[in-house]
Structure 1
Amino acid sequence: MAFKVVIKPEAEQELLEALKWYDSKEINLGSELYFEISKLIDAIQENPNLFQKRYKDFRITFTKRFRYGIHYTLEKDIIYIHAILHTSQKSPK
């Protein structure tokens, strides 16, 4: 089954801010974060039930290098990405 991925505007904004911050620290570091996030979104799209529910219907999976969590829900055949947060940030409500 092919799952459609919808990235909520808030999650997209969080990612853009993170990419900008990492790029300000070191050239191409933002690109490395983007690549890791993209691979994780691909894994979610391939098998969204692989990752454990953490609260309510939200599932979270984490990057290895950058310590970011992708918070998402699965509704029928659509994956909604609600947040892309560093592990030191609060989860969305």
Structure 2
Amino acid sequence: MSFKVQVRRAAEVDIAEAQLWYEAQRSGLGAEFHSEVSRVIHRLAETPLIYQVVYRDVRRAVLHRFPYLLWYRVRGEDVTVLACTYAGRDPSKVKSRLR
């Protein structure tokens, strides 16, 4: 069974900003970051319950190679990506975006 994944506009902005930052660090690194985000989103479509609930009904997926987290919610057959944040960010500052 495949779940339908939607990415909120705010999360799209997070991803685009991080991608631009990585691209500024090294040519091609932004594309690698985007590829990793896409890989994790694809995994969420296949097995969204693999990650544990960390806040209310929100789950957190960890990107490999990059210190970023995808915050998402599963409701029925729908997965909604709420945010993409730097892993070192204070979690209490992320909570306001997870409603």
Q: Structure 2 length normalisation: TM-score?
A: 0.89
Q: Structure 1 or 2: larger helix share?
A: 2
Q: Percentage identity across aligned positions?
A: 30
Unaligned runs of at least 5 residues, structure 1: none
Task: Report the count of equivalent residues.
Answer: 93
Corresponding residue for 1:14? 14
Q: Structure 1 length normalisation: TM-score?
A: 0.94
Pair 1:25 & 2:28 matched = no
Asked if the contact 1:3/1:79 (under 8 Å) is kept, the reply is yes
Task: Provide the rounded CA distance (Å) in 1 between the counterparts of 2:66 and 2:17.
Answer: 14
Write out per-residue CA displacement over residues 20-51 of structure 1, whole angstroms, 9 at most, x where no aligned residue: 11111110000010111111111111011111
SS across alignment from 1:74: strand
Corresponding residue for 1:45? 45
Corresponding residue for 2:73? 73
Letter in 2 for 1:45: A
Structure 1 residue 92 displacement after superposition = 3.5
Unaligned runs of at least 5 residues, structure 2: none
Runs of 4+ in 1 over 4 A off after TM superposition: none
